[in-house]
C-alpha cells in the first residue's frame, strides 16, 4: 500500500478514492455534476487528480454527506467560491456582498456559518495534504 501522506503532483482515481473515502464511480459522477471538478487525463486517458481536485472533492463530500445539501444546493455554494478559495487560501472577502452570495444568503440564513465551517474544514484538510 502506498504512503498517501507524501504530497504528489498527481494522483490516480484509485488513490483519490482511498484518500477521500469515496467510491470511484461517485467521483466520476461528480465530474458530470460539478463544473469545478475537472481532472486532467494522461496520455493513456486515465484521470489524474491534483491536490486542488482532492480539496474540491472533500468540499463536495462535506456539503452532500455532512451538511446534507442537495446537489443543486451544493452547486450554488460552490459557484460562490473562486479557484483560490477552493484551494484553501480563503480570503477575507469570502463573505462579500456579491449579488450571487447575497441571494443565497437570503435563502438560507445560516449559510455564512456553514461557509465558515467549510473554510475551517478545508484549512484542516489542506494542512494534511
7 part of a folded domain: no
91 part of a folded domain: yes
Domain harbouring 67, CATH code? 1.10.1660.10
Task: For residue 50, count other CB atoms closer than 10 A to its CB.
Answer: 16
pTM above 0.85, yes or no: no
3 part of a folded domain: no
78 part of a folded domain: yes
Banded pLDDT at 119 (limits 50, 70, 90): confident
What region does 88 belong to: left with phi over 0, alpha with psi -120 to 50, or beta?
A: left
The answer to whether residues 86 and 52 touch, using CB atoms and an 8 Å cutoff, is: yes
2 part of a folded domain: no
Residue 98 has pLDDT above 70, yes or no: no
**Domain containing residue 86:** 13-128
4 part of a folded domain: no
68 part of a folded domain: yes
pLDDT in tens, 20-43: 999 999 999 999 999 999 999 999
Cell of 5: 501522506
Residue labelled with grid coordinates 443543486: 72
Instruction: Compute CA 2 distance to the chain's CA centroid, rounded to the nearest angstrom.
Output: 23
pLDDT in tens, 43-96: 999 999 999 999 999 999 999 999 999 999 999 998 876 554 544 443 333 333
Number of domains in the chain: 1
Amino acid at each position: 500500500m502506498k504512503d498517501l501522506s507524501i504530497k504528489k503532483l498527481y494522483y490516480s482515481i484509485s488513490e483519490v478514492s482511498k484518500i477521500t473515502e469515496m467510491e470511484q464511480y461517485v467521483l466520476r459522477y461528480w465530474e458530470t455534476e460539478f463544473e469545478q471538478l475537472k481532472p486532467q487525463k494522461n496520455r493513456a486517458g486515465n484521470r489524474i487528480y491534483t491536490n486542488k481536485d482532492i480539496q474540491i472533492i472533500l468540499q463536495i463530500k462535506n456539503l452532500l454527506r455532512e451538511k446534507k445539501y442537495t446537489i443543486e444546493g451544493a452547486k450554488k455554494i460552490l459557484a460562490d467560491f473562486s479557484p483560490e478559495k477552493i484551494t484553501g487560501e480563503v480570503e477575507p472577502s469570502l463573505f462579500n456582498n456579491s449579488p450571487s452570495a447575497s441571494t443565497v444568503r437570503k435563502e438560507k440564513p445560516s449559510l455564512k456559518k456553514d461557509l465558515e465551517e467549510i473554510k475551517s474544514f478545508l484549512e484542516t484538510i489542506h494542512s494534511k495534504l
